[in-house]
Amino acid sequence: MDTKFFVDLEDLYGARNYHPLDVVLTKGKGIWVWDVEGNKYLDFLSSYSAVNQGHSHPRIVKTIISQAKQLTLTSRAFRNDQWPRLAKELCDLTGYEMVLPMNSGAEAVETALKAARMWGYKKKEIPLDKAEIIVCSNNFHGRTVTIISFSTDPSYKKDFGPHTPGFTVIPYGDLGALENAINPNTAAFLFEPIQAEAGIIVPPEGYLKRAKEICEKKNILFMADEIQTGLGRTGKLMACDYENVKPDVQILGKSLGGGCYPVSAVLSMREVLGLFTPGSHGSTFGGNPLACAVARESIRVIQEENLVDNCAEQGEYFLHELKKIQSRHIKETRGKGLLIGIELKPEAGGARPFCEALKEEGLLCKETHENVIRFAPPLVVKQKDLSWALKKIRKVFKKFE
Ligand SMILES: *Cc1c(COP(=O)(O)O)cnc(C)c1O
């Protein structure tokens, strides 16, 4: 079976809500993936950072198999012996008091929004149905109807209205706008510490710290979506750690499932998550024993293999080398840890042709927002692999000169 067979099959029967590169993958191991024709590629996307631990990590695979044989799903109508352990281990890791488990990232964001509204009514005494949540322009928090309601990308929301009210959009990185947007009915500020999907947008230094101070002063929840930036991706355990900021609510997903299984979670203090009562929120698969066993092992792999430190070290090397590339097409190269973007000038003709050319050289990258090439390999990557990749990247930029 060749690539064309699978591409045609997918495009005939599958809804076309993605525009993938025409590479059909069939195997993965660590930083490498193989297509159906036997070609090998370095995975520079890591499934949008869900595969921080590398493809089919042996420890995580072993856990998923043994837990699958043991017990996979109880629903939360009954208790199981994995969820309480994950809950404690996540709280120990992050310093929060409570956690609520979900599956996809979008579900965790939805959970955080519900928690914020509930906190607004029960603790801050905002009049019922009047709570407002502040978000940033160019945000990406997922794809549910409510979440796309406060997206600023027309392609995400056009045709999906009517949209959910109760959200105020302010420019990202703008402290004055945050201060001005807060009113007595504001319950929370939801943000990404680095806007990854928007094209690796790093806010001005000090932004997170000062934004937290503003939220504290005005008594609103400071809610970090660390689904993509968390668990090591930016060279710290959480991207907010760069400014020693502890959000009131932290949202995790993606690599919490070690690239094997969807697991997400909302972490906060008792004052917030303690407000949920039986029946007020739930998920059939949230907190299932298979997910929890996988998440526990995924966290241990990050810690025991020092993936955060490796990310910081390799990221520094890689960014430094990428910045040295001379090309008339490059506008800016930026990022933190192994979340790096090369922004091309508008005249360059978009990032897609560059990604196609990189694919031919054995590097799988995906354009984000037209003009940015994202580099986000699994955090197990070694310097020799990155230096191999750099040769290929330089070659591609030379070709486009
Ligand atoms: C991927 C992502 C989400 C959504 O996660 P899904 O698992 O795709 O629903 C939310 N926020 C951020 C920052 C993300 O990167």
Per domain, the residue ranges of the chain are: 3-57+306-400, 58-304
pTM of the model: 0.98
- Which of 212, 236, 254, 366 is catalytic? The answer is 254
Q: Is the peptide bond before 162 cis (omega within 30 degrees of 0)?
A: yes
Q: Which listed residue (44, 140, 189, 354) is catalytic?
A: 140
Residues with CB under 6 A from ligand 1: 48, 104-106, 109, 140-142, 192, 196-197, 225, 227-228, 253-254
Q: What is the DSSP letter of 254?
A: G
Q: How far is the CA of 225 from the centre of ligand 1 (A)?
A: 8
| Cα 254 to middle of ligand 1, angstroms | 7
Beta strands (DSSP E) in 299-386 are 330-336, 339-344, 363-364, 366-368, 372-375
- Residue 172 C-alpha to ligand 1 middle, in angstroms? 18
Query: Catalytic pick from 35, 43, 225, 248?
Result: 225
Termini Cα distance of the chain: 36
pLDDT of 1 reads 67
Distance 250 CA to ligand 1 centre (A): 13
Q: Whose CA is closest to 164, among 151, 186, 176, 149?
A: 149
| 263-241-225-128 Cα dihedral, nearest 10 degrees | 120
Sheet bearing 330-336, strands edge to edge: 330-336, 339-344, 372-375, 366-368
- Taking the CA of residue 229 as reference, the ligand 1 atom at the shortest distance is 13
CATH of domain 3-57+306-400: 3.90.1150.10
Tell me the best of 47, 194, 254, 369 to mutate to test the pocket of ligand 1, counting ligand atoms within 8 Å of each CB and taking the most.
254
Q: Which residues pair with 42 in a beta bridge?
A: 32, 363
pLDDT at 238: 98
Backbone angles phi and psi of 23, in degrees to 5: -130, 130
The answer to whether 30 and 301 are in contact (CB under 8 A) is no
254 tagged catalytic? yes
Residue 170 is inside which H or E element, if any?
strand 167-170
pLDDT of 369 reads 86
d(CA 370, CA 308): 29
Q: Rounded CA gap, 314 and 388, in Å? A: 13
Q: Which of 262, 258, 260 is nearest to 102 (CA)?
A: 262
d(CA 220, CA 322): 40
Calculate the CA 176 to chain-centre distance. 27
- For ligand 1, atom 8: residue with the closest CA: 105
Would you say 21 and 355 are in contact if contact means Cβ atoms under 8 Å apart? yes
Atom 15 of ligand 1 has which residue's CA nearest to it?
Answer: 228
Compute, in angstroms, the gap from residue 258 CA to the centroid of ligand 1: 15
Helix 289-304, helix 58-70: angle, nearest 10:
160
DSSP secondary-structure letter at 195?
B
Q: Which of 103, 141, 283 to mutate to test the pocket of ligand 1 (most atoms within 8 A of CB)?
A: 141
Q: Which CATH code fits 58-304? A: 3.40.640.10
**Tens digits of residue pLDDT in 188-245:** 999 999 999 999 999 999 999 999 999 999 999 999 999 999 999 999 999 999 999 9
Mutation to probe ligand 1, out of 144, 227, 285 (largest number of atoms < 8 A from CB): 227
Examine the residue annotation and report whether 114 is marked as an active-site residue of this protein: no
DSSP 3-state of 196: coil
- Do the two domains 3-57+306-400 and 58-304 of this chain adopt the same fold? no
Told to judge if 11 belongs to the known catalytic residues of this protein, a careful annotator would answer: no
Low-confidence ranges of the chain (pLDDT < 50): none
Task: Indicate which atom in ligand 1 lies nearest the CA of residue 225.
Answer: 13
Looking at residue 56, its pLDDT comes to 98
CA torsion, ordered 242, 30, 90, 230, to nearest 10 deg: 30
